[in-house]
Structure 1
Amino acid sequence: MLNVPEVLKRLVIGRAKRSEELGETLLPKRLALPIFASDPLSSVAYATQEILLVLTLGGLAYLHFTPWIAAAVIALMTVVVLSYRQVVNAYPSGGGSYEVASTNLGPSAGLVVAASLLVDYVMTVAVSVASGVDNIISALPSLAEYRVLMAVGFVALLTAMNLRGVRESGQLFAAPTYLFIGGVLIMAGTGLFRYLIGDAPVAESAAYGIEPAEGDANLAGLALLMLVLRAFSSGCTALTGVEAISNGVPAFRKPKSKNAAATMAAMGIIAVTMFAGVTALAIISKVHITEDSCRLIGLAGCEGYTQRTVIAQLASAVFGGNNSFGFYYIQAATALILILAANTAFNGFPLLASILAQHRYLPRQLHNRGDRLAFSNGILALALVAGLLLWGYKANVTSLIHLYILGVFTSFTLSQTGMVRHWNSALRTETDPALRRRHRLARVINATGAVVTGLVLVIVLATKFTQGAWLAVLAAVLLWLMMRGIRRHYDQTAAELAVIDPRTERQMPSRVLAIVLVSTVHKPTMRALAYARASRPAHLEALTVAVDKEGLAHLQKQWEDFEIDVPLKVLDSPYREITRPVVEYVRSIRRAGPRDVVAVFIPEYVVGHWWENLLHNQSALWLKSRLLFTPGVMVTSVPWQLTSAAVADHPAARAPGAVRRGEPTTPREHAAARATPGNGARD
């Protein structure tokens, strides 16, 4: 019989891999770059736009702050990249910021970092996919009404690709990443060349003025400072995902630290170059963009007008219009890289969740590898939460961006502070003068990173908290509390299960008292009685509940006719309950003999179709769930496979002459089958 779910699973994720093949999934630098750095590389597509959107709240008057804000973002990115190169070299086992903070600042600080990063990874998927959809709509405005459907569909596609394994997803994502890098560098180079020869590109929005938002005109003093700081914090989205390489060092080929550090340096150089080029072009071509199209002075029919993204306007200006090959190339490459930028989170989130699960802060299932040796449960969890977020916020980048980057700067600050303490500890024991000089330089770099990212964290909190960032803070706090609770549960469970005195734990019970639950005399009942007898208990009895007089009389007559040499205990149930009388009876036996063990045998049907489960075993399931909470009681299911189960398990069971599971095979079973009335089990 064709197993449709299994066939679909293999079509989506491919054949299962053996554990010994894990080494084949390690990444060379050329694949590691698109896998771990696609987020910071792609953020140049919207980081400049976010700066302009904030500055244009005051009209055109404050756009002259753009180059200074961009320079501050570039300086910050340089410091962060240099700082994380120290993390990669000092902590090559992965875990990145979480491991640094946990080791040097304590478990609570480590959990703050972990919670912040997990929230930020979810936001990376949501913002990257939503921004990618925005760029598709910029090229094809007719698709605007399908925004949410497209975004959720892309998340599903990314999930399927990542379930195939890290290396496979890297091979798929490498080409779009390098095409985007090449396209942006060519666009920036062409635009700057045209500017130098006196033919500067002009954006389609350059002719429009901008009406200041209410209350944001003629700002001065503290109000102007807050506007500039808010623009800077929005531009800092360019730094999201920088830490992913430090989390994924174990996925690199050997020498892991060296390759990871080289990949991080390459990422920093490329990202800074592209961000600087896009920002310079936006200034030269006079891109004017606002959150509300109706604030564009001179634009007719603003209500139904969809503004193109900054990078779309630049591509149109540089390459000669909205129908040029260069325009469609940049839009296609940008949309692809923005959607695939979520892959940074699809690699970082499962890796971090796996480490947290290994440390007992998250469910252990997140540490398990799937068929393709990827952390499948983490991938699916990330996809589910990000998909719900996109649906809830209607895939709107402006709404989602306010929840973004808070977590990443929390992890930046704490990890760099932890690295300062790491180098202080190393200097206390190191005697080699050359190494001491190297450690001091590294400490200066990390201390600078801690101070700068700490200031940015304060700025982000101050400027974004009331605009939606409080939700990200709340989510991180709840996640932190949840992880503490999970660790407490695992610790309590381990302490409770620990063997302190082996001699006491090996002590035999005084007696084993066996009880077989009976509703009628049929083959499952006979098998359960035989199995219970084979366990050689000190006492064996059958137990039934008198729900109706006729059924009880029929059962007692069968018991006598078949000469079953096991005493039948009948429990009265005036309210027609089954579970309560059985549980109370079993507990009374335990109270009478605290050192005895009560073994309860429950006959159960095994069916071949899911819907058949609805017709059988409901009483058995409820009984088991209650009995499992009773100390000193062992619950044993005695399965009886129906014909449908045999066919589902092995199609050959349909063959003529084949003995089906559940059919009598011995003379005694045939005699019992002929003598048994045709009524079914009362379950």
Structure 2
Amino acid sequence: MNMIKRMLIGRPLKSTQLGEQKLNVFKALAILSSDALSSVAYGTEQILIVLATLSAAAFWYSIPIAIGILVLLTALILSYRQIIFAYPQGGGAYMVSRQNLGKTTGLVAGGSLLVDYILTVAVSVTAGTDAIISAFPFLHGYRVSISVVLIIVIMLLNLRGLNESATILAYPIYLFVIALLMLSVVGLYKIFTGQISPTLHTPLGTPVTGISLFLLLKAFSSGCSALTGVEAISNAIPSFKEPAPKNAAKTIILMGLLLGILFTGITFLAFYYGIGPKPTDTVVSQIASQTFGRNVIYYFIQGITAIMLVLAANTGFSAFPLLAYNLAKDKYIPRMFTNRGDRLGYSNGIMALAVGSIILVIAFKGNTTSLIPLYAVGVFIPFTLSQTGMIIKWLREKPKGWFTKLLANLLGTLITFSVLVIFFVTKFDHVWPILIFLPIIVFIFTRIEKHYQAVGEQLRVDSAFTDSKIEGNVVVIPVAGITTVVENSIKYAKSITDEVIAVYISFDPEDEKIFKEKWNKWNPDVRLVTIRSSYRSVIVPLCKFIDTVERKAEESNFQMTVLIPQFITKKNWHNILHNQSSLIIRTYLLYKKDVIVTTLPYHFRK
């Protein structure tokens, strides 16, 4: 097992090698921006899906809608750049909201982002699978299976460490950027040289019967899925090489520029070519097909788009463990999320994310369109809360140049809150689950925190100290026969106390009589108590006896210990050949308040 683990994720790294796992701008842009950049492949398509419910003539509205999305993108980039410098320790929306808007609001932001990163992986992988199916339609029936396998592969890559996964994944991600830039440039060249007929699309400004503000807002909110992942860099500042805030700020600006250019290019080409959504052929696939034909370049673009959409999940795998670390550090989720694995990554967070996203893919049957609205609204909640939190911070602290910063965050708040309202008004049938599971998540967070507080109070030496003294020890040994294992246990018990009691549970009178006789001949110095079990249960009569001894021991200030003999077979598979009653007894007794339970192993040699 250990050999397989080493083969899959590599040899363990020393803690002193943590600095080597930090990211430069080149690698960080690849893995932390992959989600945002990949959304170019389906952002435009989501706009057109809504407009197509009216008619193809309405497709020209994708241009003004795209302009509105670019304005929102600019506001978000500027706002999150400020968050990076204000909170260089990372944590993003969770940290900003918790420190400026209160604990509950911070938990709402943190819970939204945790769920959103799970959705990031699910949406990215299913979108990548759709791109594969567009090129190879015969794979349509294997959508869920392909998605699950891809999630497992990305999980293993991330378990190998942040730096190594970034090195592997950077090249296909940059190839995707180059491929879409090439597609946009060649497409624009063909348009300007008259190779693409201007009759393929409805001219801008053409009146469309039945168009409504509601439909336009719905299309706008769908297109805002292209902005998911923008916040990931602010969550992952500790992953950057020093100076971390400056490198993170450079990365988010570069991401915004690339995202804006690619989204604009794809949206314009889709409009000019008169392309609409198709169930088995993505918008990018149709643009590439019309620009280059179904040749090697087309399959290269489709292949690298599919890979990019899958690798976009890496943003979730990079940001989720760091957010989980911050929540765990504040005692809102299990402390195991603060532990680093063999390769210095937060491996528990990586594996939890993979499991959660696989469950979502299976539950939604790999349908990207069903996941995207919930995915988008999940990220706009922390968008809005983080911008609001920054406004409170500037008003409270008023540093140099605070008013300009406040205006930038105010603009971000107004826009993101408006988009959030639009989501709930236009897509309520898709996003209503968030109104149920988000309060549940916050409730779970608070219950976990309450538990950790209670544990802390009980572990403090001053509160746990009592004046009572332990006068001695009573050891009870459950025995199933006269064996070397039992003999070894009795020798050990007698080395720590003279009060040793062996307990034998019998199922019939004759067996009980025979065992007593054997015991008295073998070891008469150790008290034997036999208990007849009429219902063939070992646990119930044994525990009743232990309760009785426990009460008497407590009256005499004696500590009671149950010593469980257990033999250890030489080979693991031998265990299935034996009755594991000692494990059952130990598990049951561990929950008894005043009983010490200890196991004395006896190792077989063959």
TM-score if structure 2 supplies the norm length? 0.95
- Deviation at 1:404? 1.8
The 5 Å alignment of 1:349-428 reads 349-427=320-398
Q: Find the counterpart in structure 2 of residue 672 from structure 1.
A: none
- Deviation at 1:95? 0.9
Whether 1:566 aligns to 2:526 is yes
- Whole-angstrom CA distance in 1 between matches of 2:10 and 2:315: 22
Q: Find the counterpart in structure 2 of residue 163 from structure 1.
A: 159
Secondary structure class of the residue paired with 1:374: coil
Whether 1:126 aligns to 2:89 is no
Q: Which amino acid in structure 1 is aligned with residue 605 of structure 2?
A: T
Q: Which amino acid in structure 2 is aligned with residue 443 of structure 1?
A: L
Q: Find the counterpart in structure 1 of residue 169 from structure 2.
A: 173
Q: Is the 8 A contact 2:458 2:464 kept in 1?
A: no
The 5 Å alignment of 1:228-307 reads 228-289=216-277, 306=280
- Whole-angstrom CA distance in 1 between matches of 2:506 and 2:190: 94
- Whole-angstrom CA distance in 1 between matches of 2:358 and 2:589: 40
- Whole-angstrom CA distance in 1 between matches of 2:201 and 2:162: 47
- Deviation at 1:611? 4.2
Q: Find the counterpart in structure 1 of residue 284 from structure 2.
A: 311
Q: Is the 8 A contact 2:390 2:406 kept in 1?
A: yes
Q: Find the counterpart in structure 1 of residue 484 from structure 2.
A: 523
- Whole-angstrom CA distance in 1 between matches of 2:575 and 2:243: 54
* Cα offsets for 1:469-505 (capped at 9, x unmatched): 2234433332222222222222222223322257527
Q: Is the 8 A contact 1:599 1:636 kept in 2?
A: yes
* Cα offsets for 1:434-462 (capped at 9, x unmatched): xx22x221111111111110111111111
- Whole-angstrom CA distance in 2 between matches of 1:160 and 1:540: 52
Q: 1:313 to 1:501 in 2, by over 3 A?
A: closer
Q: Is the 8 A contact 1:604 1:617 kept in 2?
A: no
Q: Which amino acid in structure 1 is aligned with residue 288 of structure 2?
A: A
Q: Which amino acid in structure 1 is aligned with residue 420 of structure 2?
A: L
* Cα offsets for 1:209-263 (capped at 9, x unmatched): xxxxxxxx9425xxx1110000000000111111100110000000000000100
RMSD over aligned CA atoms reads: 2.0
- Deviation at 1:202? 8.0
Q: Find the counterpart in structure 1 of residue 210 from structure 2.
A: 219
1:635 to 594, 597, 606: 597
Secondary structure class of the residue paired with 2:500: strand
- Deviation at 1:511? 2.5
- Whole-angstrom CA distance in 2 between matches of 1:282 and 1:557: 92
Secondary structure class of the residue paired with 1:27: coil
Q: Is the 8 A contact 2:457 2:463 kept in 1?
A: no
Q: Find the counterpart in structure 1 of residue 414 from structure 2.
A: 451
- Whole-angstrom CA distance in 2 between matches of 1:593 and 1:642: 34
- Whole-angstrom CA distance in 2 between matches of 1:201 and 1:386: 43
Secondary structure class of the residue paired with 1:402: helix
Q: Is the 8 A contact 1:587 1:630 kept in 2?
A: no
Q: Find the counterpart in structure 1 of residue 205 from structure 2.
A: none
Q: Find the counterpart in structure 2 of residue 545 from structure 1.
A: 505
Q: Is the 8 A contact 2:553 2:560 kept in 1?
A: no
Q: Which amino acid in structure 2 is aligned with residue 376 of structure 1?
A: S
Secondary structure class of the residue paired with 2:461: coil
Q: Which amino acid in structure 1 is aligned with residue 294 of structure 2?
A: N
Q: Find the counterpart in structure 2 of residue 8 from structure 1.
A: 4
Q: Is the 8 A contact 2:201 2:272 kept in 1?
A: no
Q: Is the 8 A contact 1:600 1:633 kept in 2?
A: yes
Q: 1:207 to 1:73 in 2, by over 3 A?
A: closer
Secondary structure class of the residue paired with 2:375: coil
Question: For structure 1, which runs of at least 5 residues remain unmatched after alignment?
Answer: 209-216, 292-305, 431-435, 645-683
* Cα offsets for 1:310-337 (capped at 9, x unmatched): 1111112222x112x3211211111111
Q: Which amino acid in structure 1 is aligned with residue 267 of structure 2?
A: T
- Deviation at 1:290? 5.0
TM-score if structure 1 supplies the norm length? 0.84
What is the percent sequence identity of the aligned residues? 40
Q: Find the counterpart in structure 2 of residue 484 from structure 1.
A: 446
Secondary structure class of the residue paired with 1:517: strand
Which structure has the larger Rg over C-alpha atoms? Answer: 1
Q: Is the 8 A contact 2:564 2:600 kept in 1?
A: yes
- Whole-angstrom CA distance in 2 between matches of 1:347 and 1:621: 39
Q: Find the counterpart in structure 2 of residue 212 from structure 1.
A: none
- Deviation at 1:613? 3.0
Secondary structure class of the residue paired with 1:571: strand
Q: Find the counterpart in structure 1 of residue 423 from structure 2.
A: 460
- Whole-angstrom CA distance in 1 between matches of 2:344 and 2:82: 29
Whether 1:322 aligns to 2:322 is no
